[in-house]
Amino acid sequence: MSDWWIVLAVALISFLMTAVLRRYALSRSIIDIPNARSSHSVPTPRGGGVAIVLAFLVAIPLLGWLGLVSTGMLIAVGGAGVMVAVLGFMDDHGHIAARWRLAGHFAAAAWALFWMKGLAPLTVFGWDLHLGLIGNVLAAVYLVWMLNLYNFMDGIDGIASVEAICACLGGCLLYALSGHQDMIWLPLLLAVAVGAFLLWNFPPAKIFMGDAGSGFLGVILGCFSIQAAWVQSSFFWAWLILLGVFVVDATFTLVRRLVRGDKVYEAHRSHAYQFASRQFGKHLPVTLAVAAINLVWLLPIALGVVLYGWDGAWALVLAYVPLILLAIKFHAGELERS
């Protein structure tokens, strides 16, 4: 029997679970109420990203049972994903102090890195780097930043879902074309789970993802890139390129706010995508623009790295420069004008 029934099962679970979570959020008044720092104008239930988490986690033992993914990788993403999702779920229902959230995030990163054997040697601008313990520390910081930046970037309808789908399907294409079809299963199933949720989250959203879903996506996508680096260094750079829209907007905004002396842990709406959504007066054009950038610009560069041997670090620079210019154009990190 073909193993592809898992794809349909994940899609169905994610879609139906989102409907259940929406009813639950409405009954418990788990609602995002618009305020001065919001990018939406209509009260909307939140926490729907738990459907993505559950649908993906249900598939993990099946993938292990069928021998489609290594046990170490399944334990890594399963354990780290659960820790991050539980913290996010608790924060969605109340409030957890930032220091405890951060401690939990580093614990999840350490768990994942232990099972994935840390950071692989990387080729950087033509140099082979074996960073050892320092590399593992940097990898932990990287995973924590990935899950937090994904949380920061989940601010308008559909954007976090579209980014995850584009990155995951882009990764699947890279694996298929380079002869690594065995690596497709995890990103494919994550894309399917997110795609089913997107049917509820597409502008105008009927439910928001919430911290549980966005943090989960960030850490899982980060794990995909670190896992891929053990197969070949070019895959790591390709994942960073595919995730460029979120990495650049979030990092550029954070740096600008740090330089200005803002309290970076406070809510704000100064990301480039938020300025753009206010400029266009709608979320949909910005969400579709993110999809277009991924497909037309970032995916071809990632293909060049994996299939044609382009230097990954230089390709990353090439991919990110226009994104930085876009961040500047749309005032990323600037104070909002009255």
Q: Residues 8-38: pLDDT tens digits?
A: 999 999 999 999 999 999 998 888 877 656 6
The answer to whether the annotation marks 201 as part of a ligand binding site is no
Residue position matching structure tokens 């949720």: 197
Burial class (CB in 10 A: 0-12, 13-18, 19+), 107: middle
Query: How many residues comprise the chain?
Result: 338
Give 3-state DSSP helix, strand, coil % of the chain, rounded to 5: 70, 5, 25
Q: Are the C-beta atoms of 226 and 143 separated by less than 8 Å?
A: yes
Task: Report how far residue 210's alpha carbon sits from residue 52's, in angstroms, rounded to the nearest whole number.
Answer: 11
Task: Report how far residue 322's alpha carbon sits from residue 255's, in angstroms, rounded to the nearest whole number.
Answer: 18
Confidence (pTM):
0.96
Amino acid found at 36: A
Average pLDDT of span 71-82: 97
Q: Is the pLDDT of residue 302 over 90?
A: yes
Which residues partner with 122 through β-bridges?
Answer: 129
Q: Are the C-beta atoms of 122 and 236 separated by less than 8 Å?
A: yes
DSSP code string of 144-164:
HHHHHHHHHH--STTHHHHHH
CA dihedral 288, 151, 209, 64 (to 10 degrees): 100
Q: Are the C-beta atoms of 221 and 194 separated by less than 8 Å?
A: no
- The pLDDT of residue 28 is 86
Mean pLDDT of the chain: 94
The CA-atom distances, in angstroms, between 257 and each of 254, 286, 311, 332 are: 5, 22, 32, 9
Collect all residues with Cβ–Cβ distance below 8 Å to 318 and sequence separation of at least 6.
301
Q: How far is CA 9 from the centre of its chain?
A: 22
Of the pLDDT bands very low, low, confident and very high (cuts 50, 70, 90), residue 1 is very low
Find, among 150, 169, 157, 337, the residue nearest to 250 by Cα: 150
- The pLDDT of residue 336 is 78
The answer to whether the annotation marks 136 as part of a ligand binding site is no
Query: What does DSSP assign to residue 295?
Result: I
Q: Work out the end-to-end distance of the chain between its first and last CA atoms, rounded to an integer number of angstroms.
A: 61
Q: Is the pLDDT of residue 107 over 60?
A: yes
Q: Are the C-beta atoms of 252 and 332 separated by less than 8 Å?
A: yes
Which residues partner with 123 through β-bridges?
Answer: 128
Average pLDDT of span 306-327: 98
